[in-house]
A and B are shown apart, each in its own frame.
Chain A
C-alpha cells in the first residue's frame, strides 16, 4: 500500500516560532504537495514539487517555504508562525500519469 506519512498528527506552537512539518512517501513519487484545509474553504494548495530541489508556488504560499532535498521527503516550513496559520495541513504525493494522488493523515497545527 502507498503510504504518505506526516511526522505529527497534532502540534502546538507559539507565535513567531519556526515550524517544520515533515512528509515522507514510500512510492518513489515525483510529485509532492502541501495543502492547508480550513472550514468552509476546502483544501488550498500551498506549494508543490515535481522533482528533487524543484518547487512551485501554489495558491497561498505567503508565510511558507518548502524543502525537497530527497525524493521521498517534502518539508513545509513556517518561517515565523502566526495565529492565522492555525489549520490542518495535508501532504500528498503522486506520479505523472497515475490517476490518484495519495494523502497523508494530516497535521493539525495550532499557533498560540
Chain B
C-alpha cells in the first residue's frame, strides 16, 4: 500500500492561496490520489480526486506531475472556515481508495 508524506502543519492568511504537497513515491499504476478535509469532531469530507495532470472543482485544484510521485492540493483564497486537517490518500479506486493508509494529515490554520 502506498504511503504518503505531508507537512504536519501550515499557516496562512485569509484570501491567500494555499498549496499542500503530498509525497507518494511508491504509488501503483492503478492508484488514484484523493484529498479529504476534516473539522474537529466530524468525519472526513471528500475534496477532490485525480489520477494525473490537473483536476479542478468548485472547491480546489489538484496538480499531479507526470511521474505521479507527488501531488499538490491548491485551495484558492482561503477563509477562516478552511482551518482544518487535510489528508492525502493513495489507493485503488475499486475500493473507494480506502484500503489505504491515512497519515497524520496537514493541519492548516488560517488567520485573519
Cβ B44 vs Cβ A50 within 8 A: no
Q: Are B41 and A31 neighbours in the complex by a CB distance under 8 Å? A: no
**A103-B96 contact given A42-B102, A42-B103, A59-B101, CB 8 Å threshold:** no
Cβ contacts under 8 Å, A4 to chain B: 43
User: B32 to chain A: which residues have CB within 8 Å?
Assistant: 99
> Which of B18-26, B70-78, B87-95 faces chain A?
B87-95
CB distance from A9 to the nearest CB of B (A): 9
Looking at chain A, what size class is its interface with the partner chain? 20 to 34
| B43 close to A103 (CB less than 8 A) | yes
In the complex, B69 has a CB within 8 A of chain A: no
B43-58 residues with Cβ-Cβ distance < 8 A to A are 43-46, 49
Question: Does B61 interact with chain A (Cβ within 8 Å)?
Answer: no
A98 located at the interface, meaning its Cβ lies under 8 Å from any Cβ of chain B in the complex: yes
Smallest CB separation, A23 vs chain B (Å)? 11
Set of chain B residues within 8 Å of A58, measured between Cβ atoms:
99
The answer to whether B46 and A106 touch across the interface, beta carbons within 8 angstroms, is no
Give the distance in Å from the alpha carbon of A94 to the alpha carbon of B89 in the complex.
15
Chain B residue nearest to A40 (CB atoms) is: B104
Which residues of the other chain, A, contact B49 by a CB distance below 8 angstroms?
99-100
Measured in the bound complex, the distance between the Cα atoms of B99 and A100 in whole Å is 13
Q: How far is the CB of A110 from chain B (nearest CB, A)?
A: 14
- State whether A45 touches B98 (Cβ < 8 A): yes
**11 pairs, CB–CB < 8 Å, chain A vs chain B:** A31-B95, A43-B44, A92-B96, A95-B96, A98-B93, A99-B32, A102-B46, A105-B41, A105-B42, A106-B41, A106-B42
Q: Known pairs A44-B102, A48-B98; list 15 more (Cβ under 8 Å).
A: A31-B96, A33-B96, A33-B98, A45-B98, A45-B99, A45-B100, A94-B95, A94-B97, A97-B93, A98-B93, A99-B49, A101-B96, A102-B46, A104-B43, A105-B43
Which 9 interchain pairs have the tightest Cβ spacing?
Answer: A94-B96, A103-B43, A100-B46, A43-B102, A99-B49, A101-B96, A42-B104, A42-B102, A96-B94
B-side interface residues toward A, CB under 8 Å? 32, 34, 41-46, 49, 87, 93-105
